[in-house]
Amino acid sequence: MSHKVLKLLALLAVAVLVASCAPATPTPAPQATQPAAATQPPAGQVCTVGFINHLTGDAAVYGQSMKKGVELALDKINANGEKIRVIFEDDRLSAADAQTAFLKLVDSDKVPVILGSGSSTVTLSLCPKAEERKVVLISSISTAPALKQCGDYVFSAMATDDAQGPEWAKVAEYLKADEVAVMYINNDYGIGVKDAFLNSYKGKVLIAQPFELGAKDFRTEILKVKATNPKVVFIVDHVAEGSIVIKQAAELGMKVQWVTDVSMVAQEVIDLAGAAAEGIMGLRAGSTQTPQYKEFEEAFRKKFNEPPTIWSDFSYDTMMLVAMAIDKYGCNSEGIKKGLMEVSQDYVGPSGPKAFNEYGISPGVYEWMIVKDGKWVLFEKK
């Protein structure tokens, strides 16, 4: 055989070796044998849980943030001995890779429940598989309205986009704004919120200007909005781009009342936009005034040396809910499915009340926030 073919076979061998390498932290519990509903031995032993999110690539900042929320929750859950172990998988923001991750977690690690994904598009692509394999899929932050049709194994800890839109309309009403401009990130989330807002808002929309994920220069988009002379501009984004928009808008002399969506109520916006951020309003999903939130924030800062983001709040609560469900009904999908419904009804965590409705989606409870003296604080409604 030729030298080169030998090289190839050697490489294959290495690949197989790598692939079959036993994980450094194997689950000690013996594997259950049924292929359908993944089951693991009952309470008293460690339950392995899956996590799929975008841990690399353009959206990694959000996926990593969600991971931190889960890790903080695990500290609390495993404080008296290890009860839950999480296997973190990367979906690379791609439906095909998410499916690979899903199958690995379900077939190889035999998890009864998977936390994920952040992106609605990825979560939606996993829905049919979750239903088919009867594995609970709970997203902390996917908000596409289509999630309602996913089936009863699929949950989301955050209200769908059509909840934020009407809330924005309420803000517009409070501000007595009969004409506004909207800027939105051009993805499923941004479009979803924008559409929901446009449906609820009764006034005139001067312009609905999209902008792109990953871009850095929004000056022309801003000038287009500025040209319509708005007094109030609603903006929906995931932080990275929105913070640049506010900064560049200030530099270009645009003086308006900004109202942001829930993702933008974050420290980064203030860090980047500096003085320009003063006075901007935003929606906060959940509440920062509750003792749960304050306790969570302190613990998060202590562990990670940085303030938590909305992604961490929500994924923290998702993990806690799953842990509570497992506590009640054991480490199996049916139990967790039932348990989640029950334990969520009275649960109020750092990201607010989580009672799942008939679609398995938490309610949309919002606070209004405003930036004052360089910090996001509660907005006092008169």
**Which of 173, 268, 297, 334 touches another protein by CB under 8 A?**
268
Instruction: Work out the number of other CB atoms within 10 angstroms of the CB of residue 245.
Output: 29
Residues 116-145 that bind another protein (CB under 8 A): 121, 124-125, 128, 144
**Non-local CB neighbours of 129 within 8 Å, separated by 6+ positions:** 99, 102, 103, 135
Any contact of residue 198 with another protein (CB under 8 A)?
no
Q: Which two tokens stand for residue 110?
A: 């035999």
Any contact of residue 1 with another protein (CB under 8 A)?
no
Q: Which two tokens stand for residue 133?
A: 């394999």
> Least distance (Å) from another protein to the CB of residue 298?
20
Residue 280 contacts residue 247 (beta carbons within 8 Å): no
Residues 296-325 that bind another protein (CB under 8 A): 306
Any contact of residue 106 with another protein (CB under 8 A)?
yes
**Which of 90, 237, 313, 317 touches another protein by CB under 8 A?**
90
Beta bridge partners of 371: 376
Any contact of residue 16 with another protein (CB under 8 A)?
yes
Query: Which of 86, 192, 77 lies closest to 146, judged by CA?
Result: 192
Any contact of residue 276 with another protein (CB under 8 A)?
yes
Which of the stretches 100-108, 287-295, 321-329, 345-353 binds another protein when contact is defined by CB under 8 A?
100-108
Q: Which is nearer to another protein, 88 or 155 (CB)?
A: 88
Q: Which is nearer to another protein, 25 or 33 (CB)?
A: 25
Q: Per-residue DSSP letters for 128-149?
A: HHHHHHT-EEEESS---GGGGG
Q: Which two tokens stand for residue 107?
A: 């077939």
> Least distance (Å) from another protein to the CB of residue 347?
26
Which of the stretches 37-45, 49-57, 165-173, 289-297 binds another protein when contact is defined by CB under 8 A?
49-57
Any contact of residue 208 with another protein (CB under 8 A)?
no
Helix (H, G, I), strand (E, B) or coil at 219: helix
Separation of alpha carbons 110 and 32, rounded Å? 8
> Least distance (Å) from another protein to the CB of residue 363?
24
Q: Which is nearer to another protein, 63 or 165 (CB)?
A: 63
Q: x/- string (CB under 8 A) for another protein, residues 244-263?
A: x--x--xxxx----------
Residues 217-246 that bind another protein (CB under 8 A): 217-221, 223-224, 227, 239-240, 243-244
Q: Which two tokens stand for residue 93?
A: 């923001």
**Non-local CB neighbours of 151 within 8 Å, separated by 6+ positions:** 127, 130, 131
The CA-based angle 135-138-142, given to 5 degrees, is 135
Any contact of residue 64 with another protein (CB under 8 A)?
yes
Any contact of residue 381 with another protein (CB under 8 A)?
no
Q: Beta strands 257-260 and 281-285: pairing type?
A: parallel
**Which of 77, 86, 136, 370 touches another protein by CB under 8 A?**
86
Which of the stretches 163-171, 272-280, 315-323, 348-356 binds another protein when contact is defined by CB under 8 A?
272-280
Residue 203 contacts residue 179 (beta carbons within 8 Å): yes
> Least distance (Å) from another protein to the CB of residue 345?
30
Q: Which is nearer to another protein, 125 or 315 (CB)?
A: 125
**Which of 210, 257, 290, 341 touches another protein by CB under 8 A?**
210
Q: Which is nearer to another protein, 95 or 355 (CB)?
A: 95
Any contact of residue 197 with another protein (CB under 8 A)?
no
Q: Beta strands 232-236 and 257-260: pairing type?
A: parallel
Q: Which is nearer to another protein, 6 or 43 (CB)?
A: 6
CA dihedral 329, 333, 339, 341 (to 10 degrees): -170
> Least distance (Å) from another protein to the CB of residue 11?
6
Any contact of residue 152 with another protein (CB under 8 A)?
no
Residues 18-47 that bind another protein (CB under 8 A): 18-25
**Non-local CB neighbours of 371 within 8 Å, separated by 6+ positions:** 269, 270, 277, 278, 279, 280, 281, 377
The CA-based angle 298-117-354, given to 5 degrees, is 55
